[in-house]
Chain A
Amino acid sequence: DQQVKQNSPSLSVQEGRISILNCDYTNSMFDYFLWYKKYPAEGPTFLISISSIKDKNEDGRFTVFLNKSAKHLSLHIVPSQPGDSAVYFCAASGFYNQGGKLIFGQGTELSVKP
């Protein structure tokens, strides 16, 4: 039972355009959502998060949108840069999950072409 799903294994975008990465979840008890970026042979790097009391959070070129009724979140990167090429993981946690362990999606590999 996969509680967090990223249905697109890969995405290719032209430099300067918008990248939109999507994530769906099934557990309505999740109340905190995060996006991580991962380069090969490195650990995931925290990008941006959002609490379930909000529907949008913005940090520079990165914006996360949360649609609780649809159990869907997305990460927008504008403008996309070649250095953004990496695997992006969405993750979720809930107050009921003692200690806030993260449940991860399978990842989406983003390729930004010059």
Chain B
Amino acid sequence: GAGVSQSPSNKVTEKGKDVELRCDPISGHTALYWYRQSLGQGLEFLIYFQGNSAPDKSGLPSDRFSAERTGGSVSTLTIQRTQQEDSAVYLCASSDSTASFNQPQHFGDGTRLSIL
């Protein structure tokens, strides 16, 4: 499909394990964003990529969280030593920021992460 693709759709893991979440943005979109939605909460910004660079990492909650983007395309969000409070839906979005920053972001269906 032509939309944002995220994998896995669901992930259940034990506390203390590392997890890696993947996002494949819309082809040609230079901007990529990670958000998360905890139960009953709104969406919370985590990190923004422009190409392979991350000018804004201000939303990452701790140094256990990291992300990278390669080839200006696929991005991975890694959570080390997972904690129960990391349980949430992790959403990826992309936009075509070449014209201006005021472009809508298009979201994938998210990865539902459950930490036991």
Contact = CB atoms under 8 A, between A and B. Distances in A.
A101 B48 contact: yes
Contacts of A101: 33, 45, 48, 56, 59
Given A43-B91, A51-B102, A98 B56 contact: yes
Given A102-B43, A104-B42, A43 B107 contact: yes
A41 B93 CA distance: 16
A43 B109 contact: yes
A7 to B, nearest CB: 13
A100 B102 contact: yes
B48 A44 contact: no
A43 B102 CA distance: 20
Nearest to B10: A41
Contacts of B97: 99-100
A99 B55 contact: yes
A21 interface: no
A102 B48 CA distance: 10
Nearest to A47: B104
Nearest to B46: A101
A42 B108 CA distance: 8
Interface of B: 4, 6, 31, 33, 35, 41-45, 48, 50, 55-56, 59, 91, 93, 95, 97, 101-110
